[in-house]
């Protein structure tokens, strides 16, 4: 079995600030980390590898410094890494990003399972995994809270609003996983040393055979103009006491006084 795990380098959300002039995220001098939910995808791959045997390839698109998260993926047990880095990929939205990731999957070939974190913390769209599956023309399962492979099928549970679903899809399939699916491991010193000897590749648009009209800014029909913090104001917090019925009456009375009913 060959598993492709797609990961992303993101700003550490605890350090992110907004530029008051432009409204954009200030990335200069901000620590970059592995997208936390991608660590769950890596752990899923490692569990499948331990259970059934697999080759696990970690893939990331970004500038040269994004190789740092691929090194971590190798230290966590991935067998190979591929960095997709080219100025032609810069400024990509989720559609252009997913096209580039799909071209990487096609170049690697012979894959069985594509794993993604549910979303990236710097975008929170949850679109890249499903869009990559669409470019490749393969099934997709989103919001997986458990994952297994049985007789050529991937079987997952999904916890949605009012039920738990069990779904399956024929391999090859793309799956996005939630952070509740597992508890990611930490790389050990021994595995960090092993990672230094594992195959690492860097591919540009020409290597992927990518149409640059579909990558980066030219391939991005959407763009983010500004990001802003909502205005902060003082709130009047009120506490109600009594039985549930009494609290309900007090709450409705308050809404009527505020002309909210």
SS3 labels along 3-34 = EEEECCEEECCCCCEECCCCCCEECCCCCEEE
User: Which pLDDT does position 86 carry in this prediction?
Assistant: 97
d(CA 257, CA 84): 59
Residue 166 lies in a domain: yes
Q: Are strands 173-177 and 140-150 parallel, antiparallel or unpaired?
A: parallel
Phi-psi domain of 69 (left: phi exceeds 0; alpha: psi -120 through 50; beta: other): alpha
Determine the Cα–Cα distance for residues 84 and 43; give it in Å rounded to an integer.
Answer: 22
- Tell me the CATH number at 61: 3.40.50.620
57: nearest Cα among 117, 4, 108: 4
Tell me the C-alpha to C-alpha distance, in Å, between residue 191 and each of 42, 72, 74, 195, 206.
Answer: 14, 10, 8, 6, 33
For the segment 57-82, the average pLDDT, to the nearest whole number, is: 96
Across 65-87, average pLDDT? 96
Would residue 235 count as lying in a domain? no
Orientation angle between helical segments 128-136 and 94-108, nearest 10 degrees: 50
Token readout for 60 is 């990331």
Residue 261 domain-assigned (yes or no): no
CA dihedral 201, 110, 62, 184 (to 10 degrees): -100
Q: Give the count of domains, the chain.
A: 1
Q: Distance between CA atoms of 186 and 195, rounded to whole angstroms?
A: 14
- Label residue 255 exposed, middle or buried (CB < 10 Å: 0-12, 13-18, 19+): exposed
| Lowest mean pLDDT across 93-102, 176-185, 209-218, 226-235 | 226-235
The whole-model pTM stands at 0.83
**Domain interval for residue 61:** 2-208
Question: For residue 236, is it within any domain?
Answer: no
248: in domain = no
* Average pLDDT value over all residues in the chain: 91
Tell whether the model's pLDDT for residue 138 goes beyond 80.
yes
Residue 8 lies in a domain: yes
* Contacting residues for 171 by C-beta, under 8 A, at least 6 apart: 112, 113, 149, 152, 153, 154
Which among 87, 112, 115 has a CA at the least distance from the CA of 101? 115
| 196-246 confidence digits (pLDDT tens) | 999 999 999 999 999 999 999 999 998 777 766 677 777 778 888 999 999
Q: Say which DSSP state 198 is in.
A: S
254 inside domain: no
pLDDT confidence tier of residue 26, bands split at 50, 70 and 90: low
- Identify which of 195, 147, 198, 193 has the alpha carbon closest to the alpha carbon of residue 173: 147
In contact, 118 and 143? CB cutoff 8 Å: yes
Contact in structure between 57 and 82 (CB atoms under 8 Å): yes
Specify if 106 maps to a domain.
yes
């Amino acid at each position: 079995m060959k598993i492709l795990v797609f990961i992303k380098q993101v700003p550490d959300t605890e350090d992110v600030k907004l530029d008051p002039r432009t409204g954009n995220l200030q990335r200069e001098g901000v620590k970059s980390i592995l997208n936390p939910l991608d660590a769950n995808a890596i752990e899923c791959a490692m569990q499948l590898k331990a259970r059934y045997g697999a080759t696990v390839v970690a893939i990331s698109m970004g500038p040269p410094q994004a190789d740092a998260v691929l090194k971590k993926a190798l230290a966590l047990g991935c067998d190979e890494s591929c960095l997709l880095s080219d100025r032609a990929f810069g400024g990509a939205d989720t559609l252009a990003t997913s096209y580039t990731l799909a071209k990487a999957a096609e170049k690697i070939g012979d894959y069985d399972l594509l794993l993604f974190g549910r979303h990236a913390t710097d975008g929170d769209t949850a679109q890249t995994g499903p869009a990559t599956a669409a470019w490749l023309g393969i099934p997709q399962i989103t919001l997986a809270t458990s994952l297994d492979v049985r007789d050529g099928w991937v079987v997952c549970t999904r916890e949605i609003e009012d039920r738990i679903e069990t779904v399956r899809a024929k391999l090859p399939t793309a799956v996005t996983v939630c952070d509740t699916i597992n508890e990611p491991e930490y790389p050990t010193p021994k595995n960090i040393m092993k990672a230094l000897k594992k195959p690492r590749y860097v591919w540009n648009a020409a290597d992927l055979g990518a149409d640059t009209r579909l990558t980066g800014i030219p391939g991005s029909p959407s763009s983010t103009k500004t990001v802003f913090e909502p205005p902060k104001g003082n709130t009047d917090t009120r506490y109600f006491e009594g039985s549930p019925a009494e609290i309900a009456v007090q709450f409705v009375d308050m809404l009527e006084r505020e002309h909210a009913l």
